[in-house]
């Protein structure tokens, strides 16, 4: 199995921008963490893969959040990537599993349904450096994730894009292939070239088929671009990684305030916090709650 990897490339004097990724291991890890059923696994995996590729254009402290705010049974999908190949994300209802659609594929569109797709790019928000974040939003047009991201690029960023995303779930529920590619037409691109690429993409096998055959991200671009030469600008490892920690759990509890912490100590002896993004559970002991209480400055009423 190819290891998780992302590449960023350009073709035709940078008038064509491309990204491709194999995300099998990280999506499998995400699905195990969130205990997702197949349809939810495919939705989450596609969103994580798309967000990672979008994240490859970020600089240093920037972060990108892709959020499907939807009416379907999955509730919503939130996925976040940084500039270093780290991604984390979750779906509200991981136990969504629908019958396969008329094409015999996992019915991600049915799980997502209608709603809005939001893309938020911000800079160093968590360390207080936030300048104006960038917001873009479009209605969800298919719920299949790839087509929605393509629509977002075209409508909101005015960059016509072709997005292919796929997740293959084995009968045992394991992710055995996941990944995809994005091909974007930048201003100044040659019309004939655009047509050639479009025709080629139509004949490109689904990402999961290519990945199951052992294709690397570069191999996928060779297939999608046909005879067009491209230059790989960057190859980076990618992983599922969350920013939560025991220390962060303690500061979240501290932020609740003295009364709430005292209440927790009295009623529940300790506290249990579960991170939405990665499902990691943090146990905060009674001793730690007492320490938090002791550290609050004395207040006058
Ligand atoms: Zn976490």
pLDDT in tens, 25-43: 999 999 999 999 999 999 9
Q: Which residues surround ligand 1, an ion (CB under 5 A)?
A: 242, 244, 275, 277-278, 280
- Tell me whether residue 300 is in a domain: no
Percent of the chain with pLDDT over 70: 95
**What spacing in Å lies between the alpha carbon of 142 and ligand 1's midpoint?**
29
Tell me the residue range of the domain where 281 lies. 246-295
Q: Which residue, of 216, 240, 264, is where some domain finishes?
A: 240
**What's the mean pLDDT in 281-299?**
87
Instruction: Please check whether residues 118 and 13 belong to one and the same domain.
Output: yes
| Residue 299: band (very low, low, confident or very high) from pLDDT cuts 50, 70, 90 | low
Ligand 1: centre distance to CA 127 (Å): 18
Question: Are residues 172 and 257 both part of a single domain?
Answer: no
Distance 241 CA to ligand 1 centre (A): 8
Residue 301 lies in a domain: no
pLDDT per residue as tens digits for the range 188-206: 999 999 999 999 999 999 9
Provide the CATH number for the domain around residue 53. 3.55.30.10
Domain end point (choices 219, 240, 261): 240
pLDDT in tens, 108-125: 999 999 999 999 998 765
Q: How far does residue 274's CA lie from ligand 1's centre (Å)?
A: 8
Tokens of 264: 């927790």
Which CATH number do you get for residue 274?
3.90.1280.10
Domain count, the chain: 2
């Amino acid at each position: 199995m190819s290891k998780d990897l992302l590449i960023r490339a350009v073709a035709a004097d940078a008038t064509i921008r491309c990204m491709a990724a194999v995300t099998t291991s990280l999506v499998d890890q995400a699905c195990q963490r969130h205990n997702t059923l197949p349809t939810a696994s495919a939705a989450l995996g596609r969103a994580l893969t798309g967000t990672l590729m979008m994240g490859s254009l970020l600089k240093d402290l920037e972060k990108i959040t892709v959020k499907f705010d939807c009416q379907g049974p999955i509730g919503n999908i939130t996925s976040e990537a940084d500039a270093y190949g780290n991604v984390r994300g979750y779906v509200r209802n991981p136990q969504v599993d629908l019958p396969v659609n008329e094409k015999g594929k996992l019915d991600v569109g049915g799980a997502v349904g209608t709603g809005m797709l939001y893309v938020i790019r911000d800079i160093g928000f968590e360390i207080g450096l936030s300048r104006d974040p960038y917001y873009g939003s479009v209605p969800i047009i298919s719920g299949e994730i790839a087509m929605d991201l393509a629509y977002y690029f075209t409508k909101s960023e005015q960059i016509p894009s072709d997005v292919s995303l796929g997740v293959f779930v084995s009968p045992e529920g394991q992710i055995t292939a996941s990944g995809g590619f994005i091909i974007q037409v930048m201003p100044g691109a040659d019309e004939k070239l655009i047509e050639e690429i479009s025709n080629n993409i139509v004949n490109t096998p689904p990402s999961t088929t290519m990945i199951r055959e052992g294709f690397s991200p570069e191999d996928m671009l060779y297939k999608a671009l046909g005879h067009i030469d491209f230059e790989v600008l960057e190859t980076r490892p990618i992983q599922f990684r969350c920013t939560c920690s025991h220390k962060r759990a303690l500061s979240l509890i501290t932020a609740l305030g003295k009364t709430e912490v005292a209440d927790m100590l009295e009623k529940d002896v300790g506290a249990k916090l579960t991170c939405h993004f990665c499902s990691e559970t943090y146990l905060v002991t009674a001793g730690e709650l007492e320490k938090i209480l002791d550290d609050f400055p004395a207040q006058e009423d």
